[in-house]
Structure 1
Amino acid sequence: MNNKIKFSDLTIKDFFFFNRMITPTFITIVYWIALFFIVIASLTMILGSFALFTYSFSAGLVTFFSGIVTFIAGFISTRIGFELICILFNINHNIEKLANEKTNSETQE
């Protein structure tokens, strides 16, 4: 999504009445923040599993593999979720283009 919003062109009316979408601009930032937290959570689980090995080998092993699964599943599910959000904005953009083309063709007739 390369829809860059020029904030100098954004009016108060556009902001309060949702005439222009600003969320697609922030999706990339939020995506990278989510990935950062997934990495932190999975590394915490993996490193914490080594402390559990001293008390219970099976609990440490389960926690270690849970950290790996959290890392992989977190990356995949986050990517899918954010792609679905991007698809919704692309659908909205395409519907707006179709509506504008229809109104332009009706005014020319």
Structure 2
Amino acid sequence: MKKIVDTSGLSFKDFFFFDKMFTPKIITVIYWMSLVLIVFSGLTIIFSSFLIISYSFGSALLGIITGIITIVGGTVFTRIGYEIICVLFNINRNIEKLALDKSTDDNQ
């Protein structure tokens, strides 16, 4: 079974001195937890709007639409945000590779 978070190659020193980035290894777990919370919030808005339907149909309809927008918009913008974070970590990783290649070329 594939591990969700691969922590192989991380030592205690890496954790405290930022020699290696830890966040890319756990970002997927945080992303899925965010999605669960967004869907839960949207469903809470939708179901709570059913409680006020007898008082005001317009407010209940607005609550249902708001819940749907929360679920759809929240998932899309969360995905975009986490992709930007992943892109930044990939840029960092590639810059580290370039710096390592440059330092090995200078030593030769």
Name stretches of at least 5 consecutive residues in structure 1 with no aligned partner.
none
SS in structure 2 opposite 1:69? helix
How many Å separate the matches in 2 of 1:35 and 1:80?
12
**Alpha-carbon deviations, 1:38-85, whole Å to 9, x = none?**
110001111111111111011101101000000100000100010011
How many Å separate the matches in 1 of 2:76 and 2:10?
34
Name stretches of at least 5 consecutive residues in structure 2 with no aligned partner.
none
Q: Equivalences for 1:37-76 in 2 at 5 Å?
A: 37-76=37-76
Match of 1:105 in 2: 105
State the shift of 1:14 in Å: 1.5
State the shift of 1:12 in Å: 2.6
Give the counterpart of 1:5 among 4, 7, 14: 7
How many Å separate the matches in 1 of 2:32 and 2:11?
28
Percent of residue pairs bearing the same amino acid type: 48
Match of 1:35 in 2: 35
**Alpha-carbon deviations, 1:15-57, whole Å to 9, x = none?**
2110011111110000000000011000111111111111101
Q: 2:7 is aligned with what amino acid?
A: I
The number of aligned residues is: 104
SS in structure 2 opposite 1:20? coil
How many Å separate the matches in 2 of 1:28 and 1:19?
21
State the shift of 1:13 in Å: 2.1
Match of 2:21 in 1: 21
State the shift of 1:5 in Å: 3.4
Q: Equivalences for 1:91-102 in 2 at 5 Å?
A: 91-102=91-102
| TM-score when normalising by structure 2 | 0.91
Q: 1:55 is aligned with what amino acid?
A: Y
How many Å separate the matches in 2 of 1:70 and 1:24?
26
